[in-house]
Chain A
């Protein structure tokens, strides 16, 4: 079953003193892939940038860089997209090889060389490969268990044992700390699951996107209450050199399907943060982010 969504992602910075120069990097345009097509995308930036350049990053995500060179007290970025999402339940449903076989297929010397997976096999700034993670994840990966079954068990364990707590962590909280404290937000759970998988020698990537929050029965959808979301995708090699990526959402313990809208993917949050920038001036600042995901028919 296909779905269409209307996504509005608004970011507003209010600065205490004028910002005289600002340069920002945006990952706000949803990427196209086998199960998703971006039908329209519009970006509004205020004040109007002196320069605006769109390109693709090294992971194939659309990225926009802009620069503002006039003094301003407020920066507002509004991205509006219409996205069509198709079901990909079949990707997760097909049997997978034992996880040790996947590890062997990704090790150096194995043929064919699986570069697509190798990119997401090692440590990255927010993801660590350490024996603590391998040890914690080991019960989910007993000998011979198929890769995807192991990944699902890992996802379930994280969901079961970790508490969602928006106040517990920041962007800078190390993933080892998250493992110790057993609490965090979707980003932390994604980084934790990636650390476990990569510590075992498996390839997995960080996916940033949106989630259509189901309202409780009888209540209206909370506009603006939704936020950007994050989950992971695991690389499952196929005979002959190809491979498929299967998504897992440890925050909700679900296999993402048509209720997840993909924005971008990379090694971790740092590669795909929706908005990243350097400003000169500004002093203290207040940040407001609002994401609205509505079925397109309702919009």
Chain B
């Protein structure tokens, strides 16, 4: 028997210990695991902890805490040591849990139907009619198969005598199953051999059962017959505390992740708005609370729901799981009445008791509560009360009197519960090594409805308290979690959802299920990715010339280009002091005398906006095309030189992308944040590796931003090098790892439009700016457009203007040339033909939609022809070093300006044609 680790582990504490029996010996289920743990070296354990930490960060496993000042995403906390349960114990427990699920399901059926339990007095009407979770409009609705609960969870605690008790029921949209799955994937790798040798039961069959039951009870299309029903996972959005889990489960279960605005009810059916029209939705696994689901019949102020959803449910045209109204059972007052309800509805005794609960609405219970306050905890009877539990033993005289007065005034609003004694289990302490510390644990178990009855997930989410003697376990209050290992005494079912067998009829090739919101985010993801690349190159070209004193003229011209393309932060006061004729960074594209049509210039807008922006851009921020800079005045305006130190400071600030007060975040940091924001909206469409690359980019940016005040040029250059590497790997993922559906096509169109804007603007400006005539100008232009290597290979000489322009403007074989972007864009746009269109059309014709007018490419094609007709020979014999406002430079610059403008206009047309929903006009609920 290994003792070394256990010598420091405090045994008997008056609680039940999951690992140690009362005599201090290891429980049989734990012996082999503890022996393994004891044999592990400190290095091994450190590696394991590192692995857990890294996986959580890289997989982006987060838990959002609304009130957390540190920001939304808090990394998920996972203790590497599992909670281990013996097979015989589990058999008994899971049978009891399944009975409870059956009971609660029957109870919902009764309360929304015949109400026999209310009529015969088994249940107090206050718990139903007095509960705002009782949805009157759902009265009389019978869900398919009489299944109200498809997924149910119970929170369990174990008392000192070893018995399990239910402390809460989760009936409307239980959370945590996805976290349990993620915990399993990590911990089963950390202790891979133990996991196998201990014959731990797998979780996949449980999720498959959930999939099957949704598909089975979903309404069928009369016509389609063979087509698999479309099941979606409805999320309130990424600000929900468990959004990570919604995205994770959606990907694991293969359900599209949708928000309320992705769905629409037409007639009495529910549809998903996709790029190619409306697709019927047969079942909705919801993570949205009951009363938010339909603003027409439920909460009128809900902007998250789907108007008309309830009518679709009533008509039997869609399955909503769990059934609307099931939150009714999430009441602290209910448990005391369950034994009676169980006898009435099932004719059985309740096998799993709840923690002793007294509803104060009964006079006898109120008397008991008042007489025993010091050994009870007082809770609100209904979840809507927002009443923090009060522990009777923690009250002084005055507080006690206040509580007693509250209880007497409205006894039916309160319940008294016995204090819950959580059991304890060992957690790994990173602080003291090697050390096991006891922590309070509670177990959340999950149950799914299947055609053969309720099936319990063999395992669950073990929640761990932050302190040794916690009275409440809450992830919101800094708790942690564990994987739960249920051992099997038979062979383990190694079924995996990842190897789901699919018949020929199930084959899906196209991305027809893509919602417009997703496609729109992919498009902007493409644009931001490319924009990060351009900004990084521009800043690198400048910063690299800071360290070299000889490069002063080149530094100044790169800096001017940065400002012309608005990639460096600038204050209004400075712009004014420097008296430039061009618009400052804050100015929107001011119409210049020439009034060229570069109307798309917009400010970058705030980084990740907390609200869904109703305008075209999903992030509420689009890359600003640097149109204002096209002013020809820029070339000739007398600009007093900016001090070198100021240039350095501005370039460094642009890398970090600090938002100066009152200004949107400009620069690379801002671009990266917007990229991450768009990526987060569609993360279920990226491969895990792709996602990891993004997360690493974010971590690096955060680290860099933290150190920003003391950053030196060398640090910035190192950061830029790594950013460009990350950027090219993102491009690689997009090229090599994404399916060629319309989502991919839009991502690539986004990239090409952005690169076209960048190239056309940068080269155009280069030709206009006076300072670029200095020595080394052409060289950095080639660097900026990633073409220097090609140039050197071709010409083996100092860069000159004519061959450089040929390479970066006219060469249709160079992926960094203007013509190349235009050709590819025209090809992608062509492949969209016959598909896209606006939803206003699709709306009326149901499943089908007539192709409407597509974004016209003629403008772009005409510009390409003009560009290709441009005679490069006009640059022959031109001495770029001394020329000013010469004809060829100016004409080419003007043409490139038009091309950038056309690219911006194309972006707007794409948005109108493919992304804009009628919902952009806003949704409102009206009473008359």
- Quick one: which of B117-132 are within 8 Å of A by CB? 118-121, 124-126, 129-130, 132
**B145 in contact (CB, < 8 A):** no
B204 at the binding interface (Cβ < 8 Å): no
B843 at the binding interface (Cβ < 8 Å): yes
**What is the minimal beta-carbon distance from A199 to any residue of chain B, in angstroms?**
10
Question: In the docked arrangement, what's the CA distance between A23 and B270, Å?
Answer: 14
Tell which of B54-62, B548-556, B919-927 binds the partner: B919-927
Closest to B308 in A: A23
Interface presence of A48 (CB below 8 A): no
Chain B residues with CB under 8 A of A59: 136
Interface code A179-214, partner B: CB below 8 Å = 1, 0 otherwise?
Answer: 000000000000000000000000000000000000
**B926 contacts A20, C-beta separation under 8 Å:** no
B199-255 CB contacts (< 8 Å) to partner A? none
Determine whether A171 belongs to the interface, using a CB cutoff of 8 Å to chain B: yes
Q: Is the CB–CB distance between A278 and B923 below 8 Å?
A: yes
Cβ distance A122 to chain B, nearest Cβ, rounded Å: 4
Cβ-Cβ contact count across A and B, 8 Å cutoff: 124
In the complex, identify which listed stretch (B148-156, B292-300, B392-400) lies at the interface while the others stay far away.
Answer: B292-300
* B residues in contact with A123, CB < 8 Å: 130, 132
A69→B926 contact, CB < 8 A = no
Cβ of B115 < 8 Å from any Cβ of A?
yes
**A148 contacts B by Cβ under 8 Å:** no
Q: Contacts A23-B308, A278-B307 hold; do A53 and B926 have CB atoms under 8 A apart?
A: no
Task: With A51-B268, A276-B926 as known contacts, state yes or no: A122 contacts B126, CB within 8 Å.
Answer: yes
Q: How far is the CA of A45 from the CA of B876 in the complex (A)?
A: 75
Query: A289 to B126, Cβ gap below 8 A?
Result: no
Tell me whether B124 and A67 are in contact (CB under 8 A): no
A65: chain B residues within 8 A (beta carbon): 296, 311
Chain B residues positioned under 8 Å from A11 (CB to CB): 928
Say which residue of A51, A58, A276, A281 sits within 8 Å of B136 (CB atoms): A58
Q: Which residues of B contact A115 (CB under 8 A)?
A: 115, 118-119, 125
**Interface with B: A35-43, A105-113, A256-264, which one?**
A105-113
User: CA of A11 to CA of B295 in the docked complex: distance in angstroms?
Assistant: 21
Residues of A113-158 at the interface with B, using a CB-CB cut-off of 8 Å, are: 113, 115, 118-119, 121-123, 125, 129, 131
User: Which of A109, A111, A277 is in CB contact (< 8 Å) with B925?
Assistant: A277
B252-266 at interface with A (beta carbon < 8 Å): 264-266
Instruction: Indicate if the CB atoms of B922 and A276 lie closer than 8 Å.
Output: no
Cα–Cα distance between A20 and B641 once the two chains are bound (Å): 56
Please state if A113 and B119 are interface contacts (CB–CB under 8 Å).
yes
Residue A279 CB within 8 A of the other chain: yes
Chain B residues, CB < 8 A from A289: 928
Are A108's CB and B265's CB within 8 A?
no
The answer to whether the Cβ of A273 comes within 8 Å of any Cβ in the partner chain is yes
Cβ of A162 under 8 Å from chain B? no
Instruction: With A109-B121, A280-B921, A280-B923 as known contacts, state yes or no: A287 contacts B296, CB within 8 Å.
Output: no
Question: Contacts of B789 on A, CB cut-off 8 Å?
Answer: none
The reply to whether the CB of B688 lies closer than 8 angstroms to some CB of chain A is no
A25 touches B297 (CB 8 A): yes
Q: A23-B308, A131-B409, A275-B927 are in contact. Are A108 and B921 (CB under 8 A)?
A: no
Who on chain A is nearest to B139 by CB?
A: A58
For B924, list chain A residues within 8 Å (CB): 278-279, 282
- CA–CA, A288 to B471, complex, Å? 57
Interchain CA distance A201-B137 in the complex, whole Å: 25
Cβ contacts under 8 Å, B120 to chain A: 113
Interface residues of A in 63-116 (CB under 8 A from B): 65, 67, 69-71, 108-109, 111, 113, 115
Chain B residues whose CB sits within 8 angstroms of the CB of A109 once the complex forms = 121, 362-363
Q: How far is the CA of A68 from the CA of B136 in the complex (A)?
A: 25
How many angstroms from the CA of A112 to the CA of B271 in the assembled complex?
47
- Report B625-684 residues with CB < 8 Å from chain A CB: none
Chain A, residue nearest B917 (CB)? A280
Of B267, B297, B409, B918, which contacts A280 at CB under 8 A? B918
Considering the chains assembled together, what is the distance between the CA atoms of A285 and B926 in angstroms?
Answer: 10
Least CB distance, A292 to chain B, in whole angstroms: 16
Cα distance A271–B268 when bound, in Å? 22
Set of chain A residues within 8 Å of B843, measured between Cβ atoms: 20-21, 69
B925 with A70: CB separation less than 8 A? no
At the interface, yes or no: B743 with Cβ under 8 Å from chain A?
Answer: no
Residue of B nearest to A287 (CB): B928
CA A109 to CA B121, docked complex, whole Å:
7
Kindly list chain A residues whose C-beta atoms are within 8 Å of the C-beta of B921: 17, 20, 280-283
Give every chain A residue within 8 A of B311 (Cβ-Cβ).
Answer: 53, 65
Taking CB as reference atom, which chain B residue is nearest A20? B918
For B844, the closest partner residue in chain A by CB is: A69
B136 pairs with A271, CB closer than 8 A: yes
Query: In angstroms, how far is the closest chain B Cβ from the Cβ of A104?
Result: 11
A274 part of interface (Cβ distance < 8 Å): yes
B2 contacts the other chain (Cβ, under 8 Å)? no
Interface contact B927-A276, CB-CB below 8 Å? yes
A276 touches B121 (CB 8 A): no
Interface positions of A from 239 to 286, Cβ below 8 Å from B: 267, 271, 273-283, 285
Q: Is A13 an interface residue (CB 8 A)?
A: yes
Residue B267 contacts which of A51, A275, A279, A281 (CB distance < 8 angstroms)? A51
A47 CB to closest chain B CB, in angstroms?
13
Q: Does A57 sit within 8 A of B, measured CB to CB?
A: yes
Tell whether A166 is near chain B: CB-to-CB under 8 Å. no
B361 within 8 A of A: yes
Asked if A57 and B918 sit within 8 Å, CB to CB, the answer is no
Question: A50: CB under 8 A from chain B?
Answer: yes
Instruction: Collect the chain B residues with CB atoms within 8 Å of residue A71's CB.
Output: 840
Kindly report which residue of chain B lies nearest to residue A19, judged by CB atoms. Answer: B921
Asked whether, in the complex, the Cβ of A108 is within 8 Å of the Cβ of B918, the reply is: no
Establish whether residues B925 and A276, one from each chain, have CB atoms under 8 Å apart when the complex forms. yes
Complex formed: what's the CA distance from A283 to B926 in Å? Answer: 12
Does B389 lie at the interface of the complex (its beta carbon under 8 Å from any beta carbon of A)? Answer: no
Measured between alpha carbons, how far is A278 from B266 in the docked complex, in Å? 13
Residues from chain A with a CB closer than 8 A to the CB of B830 are none
B140 at the A/B interface (Cβ < 8 Å)?
Answer: yes
Pairwise interchain contact A119-B129, C-beta atoms closer than 8 A: yes
The distance from the CB of B334 to the nearest CB of chain A, in whole angstroms, is 14
Q: CA separation between A280 and B264, bound complex, in Å?
A: 11
Give complex CA distance A65, B308 in Å. 9
- Looking at the assembled complex, report how far the CB atom of B78 sits from the nearest CB atom of chain A, in whole angstroms: 41
Q: Is the CB of B125 within 8 A of A118?
A: yes
- Alpha-carbon separation in the docked complex, A283 to B614 (Å): 13
- Contact present for B267 and A23 (CB under 8 Å): no
User: Residue of B at shortest CB range from A289?
Assistant: B928
Write the chain B residue with the least CB distance to A129: B410
The residues in B between 513 and 558 inclusive whose CB is less than 8 angstroms from any CB of A are: none
Q: How far is the CB of A66 from chain B (nearest CB, A)?
A: 10
CB distance from B259 to the nearest CB of A (A): 15
Q: Which partner residue on chain B sits nearest A117 by CB separation?
A: B125
CA distance A121 to B129 in the complex (A): 8
Q: Which residues of B contact A25 (CB under 8 A)?
A: 296-297
Q: Please state if A13 and B926 are interface contacts (CB–CB under 8 Å).
A: yes
Mask, B904-928, CB within 8 Å of A = 1, is 0000000000000011011111111
Chain A residues near B923 (CB, 8 Å)?
Answer: 278-280
A118 CA to B924 CA, complexed, in Å: 33
**Which single residue of chain A is at the shortest CB-CB distance from B120?**
A113
Do A281 and B926 touch (CB < 8 A)?
no
- Complex Cα gap A67–B315 (Å): 14
Nearest chain B CB to A6's CB is how many angstroms away? 21
Interface contacts beyond A58-B139, A111-B121, A280-B918: sample of 13 additional A-B pairs, CB < 8 Å, sorted by A:
A23-B265, A57-B137, A67-B267, A108-B124, A108-B125, A115-B115, A115-B119, A274-B928, A276-B926, A277-B296, A278-B308, A280-B919, A282-B922
25 inter-chain pairs at a CB distance below 8 angstroms, sorted by A residue, are A11-B928, A13-B928, A20-B840, A20-B918, A23-B296, A25-B297, A51-B267, A65-B296, A67-B265, A67-B267, A67-B308, A109-B121, A111-B121, A113-B119, A113-B125, A121-B129, A122-B130, A125-B132, A267-B136, A276-B925, A276-B928, A278-B924, A279-B924, A280-B919, A285-B926
Nearest 7 A-B pairs (CB), nearest first? A281-B921, A118-B125, A122-B130, A58-B139, A278-B307, A108-B124, A275-B928
